Amino acid sequence: MSTPPSSDRISSSPPSPVALTLRRRERDERRRREEQYSHGRPLPSQKLCGNEECVLRCCNVFKTSRFYLPDYLLGDKERSVDDILVKDIQTHFAYLAATRIWPSIEKQSDVLLKAQSIEAFAASPPVRAAYLDFRYLCQKNDLNFSIESRLRETLSVTMPRFRSLIETLDTARLDDDYTELVVHRTLQPPHQADKAVQTDRPLPWTQEGCVMRFLLTSELWRCHDERYMRQRGWAWKPWIVAELLSAVLLHYWLLDREKCFERVPCRGSEQCDEVWQDWLDKYPLLGGDSSHDDEEDDEPDQGDSKKSPDLVPKPIGLIKGLDLDKDVGYVGGVGTAARGPLWRDMRQKHGDDGLPQH
């Protein structure tokens, strides 16, 4: 117990009301976190590389305590610089991604479910953090990503490399040491390959390195989310993963350019809890919630309600006055950087306009 810093406090005869309140608040916070874990927030102890002992910051992205507390959080503004609702842009992106990357789904309800899932993933706290990290790394290493074509070029160079990285990780799934090595090599600053000239000082990041780090961080979180929380039986072939994640990065970059984000200094882990709660409320788990047992909860469980009114995103045509692909070019965020947007491919393939009619 520390002594009170100033004399204007009454000497404590425990338990003071303040101490009681604090204790109660701590207990409530702990309970709330437990509840969040059971609904899709990753456990702070989970490491991206899979090694439970790993203390690297790049692997401990789910931790919010002390050393691992992020400096900033990435929040959405209400509207873009063009006065478009940011949440509509997110929905539009997710819908386009769902329909362009999996064009063969026919049932509209399946499309909407998929779009909802993509939106949840793209807007999730770990992806936001990965983007902030990406931007910071680029700035720190004087990498100029202010030109859209430059980012697209880098994405198109990186995508095949990323695809083979996913394949490598798939193959190495049972080899923990190798997985860890590969993950660390991608997430950590590059080092001199030649041992003779090796110094403690890492090499500067390259553009491709920054993109790879974003893609892999997001992918490891996506796999985690899929494995533990959201049973999405989609065809996650490596090229689909690479397409989607590249699209997400480009999408974030475009949102950034259109002034859709605000960077908020992080005050403490409670604020991170807040951010996770918002996300869990907005994107509740789809399907059965039988993965946990709420019987220990001695209070009614607010979080289990699955009747969120915003669960199903509005299809494109229903978002009034919104024509992003035409007016702002957001649709460019979907598709392979190398080949251009996917819808262009589809148009060639089917001989018709791949886009919804306006």
Give the residues lining the site for Zn ion (CB under 5 A): 49, 54, 56, 59, 294, 301, 304, 323, 325
Min dist. Cβ of residue 238 to Zn ion (A):
22
Q: Which is nearer to Zn ion, 54 or 157 (CB)?
A: 54
Q: Is 142 left (phi over 0), alpha (psi -120 to 50) or beta?
A: left
Min dist. Cβ of residue 340 to Zn ion (A):
17
Q: Which is nearer to Zn ion, 54 or 182 (CB)?
A: 54
**Cα–Cα dist 51/56, whole Å:** 10
Q: Which is nearer to Zn ion, 58 or 159 (CB)?
A: 58
Q: Which is nearer to Zn ion, 245 or 316 (CB)?
A: 316
Min dist. Cβ of residue 293 to Zn ion (A):
9
Q: Which is nearer to Zn ion, 32 or 263 (CB)?
A: 32
Min dist. Cβ of residue 134 to Zn ion (A):
19
Q: Which is nearer to Zn ion, 188 or 206 (CB)?
A: 188
Min dist. Cβ of residue 84 to Zn ion (A):
12
Task: Dig out the tokens for 116 from the structure.
Answer: 């909802």
Min dist. Cβ of residue 285 to Zn ion (A):
10
Distance linking the first and last C-alpha atoms of the chain = 67
